[in-house]
Amino acid sequence: MYEAVKVDNLTHASVAIKFSICAGTVRKIVRSFKVKDDYMQELLDMQLNTEAKFTAVESTIHDYKKNKQDIWSLNQVRVSIESKHDFIVSKRLVASVLKNQFDMRFHKVKRVAFKGNSERSLVVRQ
């Protein structure tokens, strides 16, 4: 993106349209490239860190499925990742991997009244 602004002499607005982001983001990236000499390396390091976290989440969830263990909460997966891979991941990342890669979602469990599971109710429902 920085090359598009610098080499092609494009405006921030035209680069924003080209890459489908806002012009303010383009301005921040260009400013960071001008101020920091190693900004490209920082971006690459952040990308590698994100990919490593994503892979850790994927492998942990795959292990749960392979061992036929239940996943009761996102925190359960997060703690498992912290202990096995030494990464601190967000609940949002775990939820997005569950949803997009494994087609799994959490639903809030509704409380059932004690009468709902009485012998009479169980017989009536059949």
Domain limits for position 72: 47-126
Q: CA-to-CA distance for 75 and 29, rounded, in angstroms?
A: 34
Question: Does a structural domain hold residue 85?
Answer: yes
The pLDDT value given to residue 62: 94
Q: CA-to-CA distance for 47 and 44, rounded, in angstroms?
A: 5
pTM (2 d.p.): 0.66
Judgement on whether residues 123 and 88 belong to the same structural domain of the protein: yes
The pLDDT value given to residue 25: 87
What domain count does the chain have? 2
What is the radius of gyration, based on Cα positions, of the chain? 24
Convert 25-64 to b/e letters by CB count within 10 Å (16 or more is b): ebeebbeebeeeeeeeeeeeeeeeeeeebbebbeebbeeb
The pLDDT value given to residue 67: 94
Question: Does a structural domain hold residue 41?
Answer: no
Low-confidence ranges of the chain (pLDDT < 70): 1-9, 112
Judgement on whether residues 79 and 106 belong to the same structural domain of the protein: yes
